[in-house]
Amino acid sequence: MINIIVTGASGMIGSKLLRLLPNDFRLVKNIDRTEGLDILNYPGLLTTLSSARADVIVHMAAFTDVNAAARQEGKSEGLCFQINVTGTRNIVKLAKQLNCQLIHISTDYVFDGTKTGEYLETDKPNPIEWYGKTKYEAEKIVLGSDIKWCIVRTAYPFLAEFPGKFDLVRSRIKQMKDGNLPPQFTDHIITPTSADQLSIGLFKLIRAKALGIYHLVGDTSLSDFDITTEIAKQFGFDETEITKSSLAEFNKSAPRPYQQQMAMSNQKFKSQFGNTFSSFPEALAAIKIQMKEVEKLI
């Protein structure tokens, strides 16, 4: 049995991970504020967890609102820095105290989006906005620690259902339903990732006690325009109504910088752990089936 502590399990990715938890895993504790536990309160964490027996902490808790983060740029007293950096420092201390491994969830936003080709684990991060900067600071704390660590970078997770917030796929569906889809960037390349497949990838890493950095992302990197066209095809919207625009143009007057070329490679993970991630159309088709199941229950 693998005993895990999870932070941020009430979040979008965390809730999916818990729903898919395999039989050989046991949840020791979920650390988030719904449980009355705050990663900024280290003494509180110790009081609750000092005698916990855990093999691994999966650290997903974070300040994830990128636009709100931008409004805190440079402020180490701001909530974004506090949760992402100070919070991670506390979780590293907790992993050391409990003598367990740490899987730290990070993001493609640590990169600047200027690479021609896919980002690899060996590429040097160079974040260009505050959320990415705080997530990179957190990575450096993990990297510089003497615990057993694994950093998992993922990108644009999507899933069939999560009432807490919209992901890429569900927000495009809503915009097309409501008839207010904005023009779609043809020069913004991202790597959408099924949250189901991400969870399975995480279980594989945990079972293998994997160390180091891994990119757990979907198999396909594509533009916003191509993503939305695929969603329209599969969900029965008129794809000819999707109009095009350019992120390079938008960036000239954008309130914050947006990374442009964010193709990510999952080759390192795939070569060690086999096929887990699928192409975007395949992952989307699987999500569509799950959405239908959810609709039946409502």
Ligand X SMILES: NC(=O)c1ccc[n+]([C@@H]2O[C@H](COP(=O)([O-])OP(=O)(O)OC[C@H]3O[C@@H](n4cnc5c(N)ncnc54)[C@H](OP(=O)(O)O)[C@@H]3O)[C@@H](O)[C@H]2O)c1
Contacting residues toward ligand X, per CB under 6 A = 7-8, 10-14, 31-34, 38-40, 60-62, 64, 83, 87, 105, 107, 135, 154-157, 164-165
Of 132 and 232, nearer to ligand X (C-beta) is 132
User: Rounded to whole angstroms, how far apart are CA atoms 232 and 186?
Assistant: 16
Give strand ranges (E) for 123-198. Answer: 149-154, 157-158, 184-185, 189-190, 193-194
Give strand ranges (E) for 168-261. Answer: 184-185, 189-190, 193-194, 212-215, 222-223, 244-245
Max Cα separation, the chain? 59
Nearest distance from C-beta of residue 241 to ligand X, angstroms? 26
Nearest distance from C-beta of residue 233 to ligand X, angstroms? 23
Nearest distance from C-beta of residue 181 to ligand X, angstroms? 19
Of 61 and 102, nearer to ligand X (C-beta) is 61
Nearest distance from C-beta of residue 179 to ligand X, angstroms? 25
Of 202 and 242, nearer to ligand X (C-beta) is 202
Nearest distance from C-beta of residue 126 to ligand X, angstroms? 17
**Cβ atoms < 10 Å from Cβ of 187:** 17
Q: Cβ-closest residue to ligand X?
A: 11
Of 11 and 201, nearer to ligand X (C-beta) is 11
Helix (H) or strand (E) holding 281: helix 280-297
- Going by their DSSP bridges, the two strands 2-7 and 56-59 should be labelled as parallel
Helix (H) or strand (E) holding 250: helix 247-251
User: Rounded to whole angstroms, how far apart are CA atoms 156 and 22?
Assistant: 24
User: Rounded to whole angstroms, how far apart are CA atoms 170 and 251?
Assistant: 24
Of 77 and 238, nearer to ligand X (C-beta) is 77
Query: Nearest 5°: phi and psi at 129?
Result: -140, 170
Place of tokens 């990297």: 143
Of 18 and 243, nearer to ligand X (C-beta) is 18
Fill in the amino acid letter for 92: V
Nearest distance from C-beta of residue 79 to ligand X, angstroms? 8
130 contacts 72 by C-beta, under 8 angstroms = yes
Nearest distance from C-beta of residue 278 to ligand X, angstroms? 18
Of 136 and 156, nearer to ligand X (C-beta) is 156
